[in-house]
Structure formats: structure tokens, C-alpha cells
Amino acid sequence: MPNLSIRGKEMPASPIRKLVPFAEEAKRKGKKVYHLNIGQPDIPTPKVALDAIKNYKEGVIEYSHSAGNESYRKGMAQYYKNLGIDISSNEIIITTGGSEAIIFAMLACMNQGDEIIVPEPYYTNYSGFANEAGVNVVPITSNIEDGFALPPISEFEKVITKKTKAIIICNPNNPTGYLYSKEELYQLKEIVLKHDLYIFADEVYREFVYDGMEHFSVLKIKGLEQNVVLFDSVSKRYSMCGVRTGALVTKNKQVYDSAMKYAQARLSPPSIGQLAGEAALQTPKEYFVNVYNEYIERRNFVIEALNKIDGVFAPMPKGAFYSIIQLPVKDAEDFCKWLLVDFDYNNETVMLAPANGFYATKGLGKNEARIAYVLKIDDLKKAVRILEEALKVYPGRV
């Protein structure tokens, strides 16, 4: 039998989805599973986007321009201008989800063997995308004790080599919910310019910022215009993950032109996804007010309730809808599997994402898990109660 490629063998499995077979088996046995493992919101998609799909009358679903429909790119440019970000439609490539934007950026900006620095824990698929591009991930560890704030710049300096080509951040952060401040981003500016690096900015959760704080985009930082590649997506903003529409945004013409070659090679982004994305730009403001209020209520409940469970520590996230929590167990991955295979409370259980898969440094996150508070309050109450009862009887508790 032919051998797999080295790249194929080394491609990491998703820690978010690796326990799915156990969840499916639990459901086949009649258990109800509360999914806190994945960022799939239950918030309704804006009606304006759904109506655009329902009212689509064209007889043929055609290819679009490889960069995306011009009308959509112009609409996106206006969206950024409304945020105080000066971007033109010719500096935007519509992509197949934010994921494709990240892959295009790595392929356009980095050579095989180059290194990209990322604060850990981080969105686990960065490792997969880096593997596809032949790029090495270099982690810098942030800590649960301070809510996963940006590590000191001195820690970045320690790992920069001749192969270092970029730093990637997710702001607000998946999986921690941390919101990087303007001051922290300006600290990154110094090191990016000093070492002539790219900064890849994943800002897909910018609408989800709490407690009166404000999101600050790296594209607002003067002097970084040629260094920034921004990633965006409609998935979480408008609760339509399945349309697979995102964007790569950059003012660097060379990066844009290079990424366009990859965009042309895959022909075009999803036409129906663009239809929904463009329509969603007309989503009324009250939609986001309602979404904000819903997530604040969910966050406040679940973090308070988790911290009341003996041995559990959950830092308060300032953005997105995730938190990395510390559990009183020896092995969180074993615990997450046990919840699905061996435990139920009134024939119900809960699914979490083991946090070790969000770290590149081996051994870290062993007693941590990521939760996504994307379920309605009543379901979150049941999920937390199940978790509390499970920890009372789990044999691997410490």
C-alpha cells in the first residue's frame, strides 16, 4: 500500500472534533449531549441574509471573480470604514471561510521551514494551516492566572530567529476569550517593525467585546500598514458558520497579488455564501444589541456557576464566547472522553474540548478544557449541573 505524505501523517487532528465519535455513540444510546465543545452559536442568522438566499432567482449559480463579487467587496470596505479602518475594495479578497484566508497568507508570505510565533493556548487549526504550508509554529505561553494576557515582549524576543517571519494573534481570542488592549498591540508593533515581520491578525470576533471595553484593530496602527494581514469571517458575527465566507484584508500590494494567485487557483469563493454575506451587511443594529445582551447573560452565568464548583477555575473572558477552564482532574482529555462514554446525569451529559490540543508545548493544558457558551441559559444551567455531578464521581479527580 502506498505511503502517506509526511505532511499528511503530521497533520494534527482537531481537539475540538476528535471526540465526536464518542458523542455520536452517546446519542445513539439515547443520551442527550450538551455541546460546549464547539463555537457553533444557536443565535438566529439575520433575517436579511436568510431572505437573500430564499429570494435568489438566478437560473445558474455562477463563478464569481476570484477576489469575490465587487459589490460585496465594496460593501466590506464600507463596513471597515465605519469601524475607522481605511480599506478599499481592492485590498480585500473574499475567501472560503476565514480558514482559507489564513492558509493563503501563510502560503503568500512564508517559505517552507519559516517560523510563526503565536501566544498559546491558540486556535488549534493554526497548527493545521501551518502544517499545510510547511511552516513551524513557535509558541509563547500565556497564563490562566492573568486571564491569558499577552506574554511580555521579552518572551517574543527570546524565540525570534532568522527563520521567524510572522506573529499571529486572535483578538478577541479563541480559545481564551482574552481581549488584547491597544497598549499590548502597540508593544507588538515595536517588535514587528524591529525584526521586519508580518503580523497576522484574526479579528473574526471583533463584535463580541464586553464590559464597556473596545476592540482595537491592528489595521488602525500607523506605520504597520505593510506588515498587517487581517483575517475576517461572517461565521460568528452573523451566526452563519455554514456559508463558509471570510476575507483576507491587506494594504500590502505584494501580499495581495500573491494571495490572489492562490485565489485564482481555487477559482472563486462560494457564490451563495457571498450572497448571504453581502446581505448581512444590512443587518440592523438592534440585532447586535440583542446578541450582545444574550452573550453577556450567558457569560456571566456560566463563569460564576463554574467557579462555584469545587476545584474549578474559570477566568472571566472579555470577548468572543469561550473560556479555558481549569479542572480538578489529572487528565482533562480522559475526563472529556469519560463524560461521553461512561457518565450521564438523568441520561444527559456534556461535551467539552480538551485544552491540551490548543497548546504547542507538550504537557500544557493537561488539566484544562475549553468551553463555548453558545447555548441558551437553560441549557447552560443543565450543562454546568452535569459537570458538577460528574466531578463528584470521576475516578481521575485530584
Q: Which three cell numbers stand for residue 102?
A: 489564513
CA angle 91, 95, 98 (to 5 degrees): 100
Q: How confident is the model at residue 17 (pLDDT cuts 50, 70, 90)?
A: confident
CATH architecture of 47-280: 3-Layer(aba) Sandwich (3.40)
Unique residue bearing C-alpha cell 447586535 = 288
Average pLDDT over residues 347-368: 96
Unique residue bearing C-alpha cell 452565568 = 301
Q: How confident is the model at residue 10 (pLDDT cuts 50, 70, 90)?
A: confident
Average pLDDT over residues 275-290: 97
- How do residues 289-311 score in pLDDT, each as one tens digit? 999 999 999 999 999 999 999 99
Instruction: Judge: domain 6-44+286-393, CATH 3.90.1150.10.
Output: yes
Q: 6-44+286-393 and 47-280: same fold? A: no
From residue 292, how far is each of 130, 206, 285, 326 by CA, in Å? 33, 12, 11, 26
Task: Tell me what percent of the chain is helix, strand and coil, each rounded to the nearest 5.
Answer: 40, 15, 40
Tell me if 345 sits within 8 A of 389, measured CB to CB.
yes
Tell me if 313 sits within 8 A of 336, measured CB to CB.
no
Average pLDDT over residues 138-150: 97
**Domain limits of the chain?**
6-44+286-393, 47-280
Long-range Cβ pairs for the range 226-229 (8 Å, 24+): 226/251, 226/252, 227/192, 227/193, 227/197, 227/198, 227/199, 227/252, 228/198, 228/199, 228/201, 228/252, 229/105, 229/109, 229/198, 229/199, 229/200, 229/201, 229/255
- Does residue 117 surpass a pLDDT of 80? yes
